[in-house]
Amino acid sequence: MRTKHKVYVKIADDADMKDGLFAPDDTLAEVIIDDFLHQNSGTVHVAAGATLEIPFGHVTAVKGCFLKLDNDCMLTLNDSATDIQLRAQGSYAKFFLEGDLSKVEITAPAEEAIEGLFCVWGDLTA
């Protein structure tokens, strides 16, 4: 299985993006990995005030995760005691991580449900 991603963060001091403060080369941002065997992806719906554990499916050793959610929410990784506050900037809250994960939970705010997409991948071949 081939995994390909491109996380490209560019920050400038002006709206035209000419006065770059952080601007790595776009061509170096793409990563291609051929060492994973499985992925699980789909849509999520989290009712207002509820918590949903992202299903890993048949991925037994998760090595990465991507979330795209339509609202602010709390994210808990690997049963951590400290949650991560995700903020919907523009239309979505997005989260991307390359690393070992044993559990990913999304908690919706008390007053609003959350809709979105998820993808996890892993199970190294080597």
CATH no. for residue 48? 2.60.120.10
Residue-level pLDDT at 126: 57
Tell me, yes or no, whether 28 and 43 share the same domain: no
Tell me, yes or no, whether 25 and 63 share the same domain: no
Tell me, yes or no, whether 39 and 93 share the same domain: yes
Residue-level pLDDT at 35: 92
Tell me, yes or no, whether 42 and 59 share the same domain: yes
Name 125's Cβ contacts closer than 8 Å, sequence gap at least 6. 35, 36, 37
Tell me, yes or no, whether 105 and 58 share the same domain: yes
Residue type, 43: T
Higher pLDDT, 84 or 23: 84
pLDDT by residue (tens digit) across 37-89? 999 999 999 999 999 999 999 999 999 999 999 999 999 999 999 999 999 98
Residue-level pLDDT at 125: 73
Q: Which domain holds residue 98?
A: 35-124
Residue-level pLDDT at 114: 97
Tell me, yes or no, whether 105 and 67 share the same domain: yes
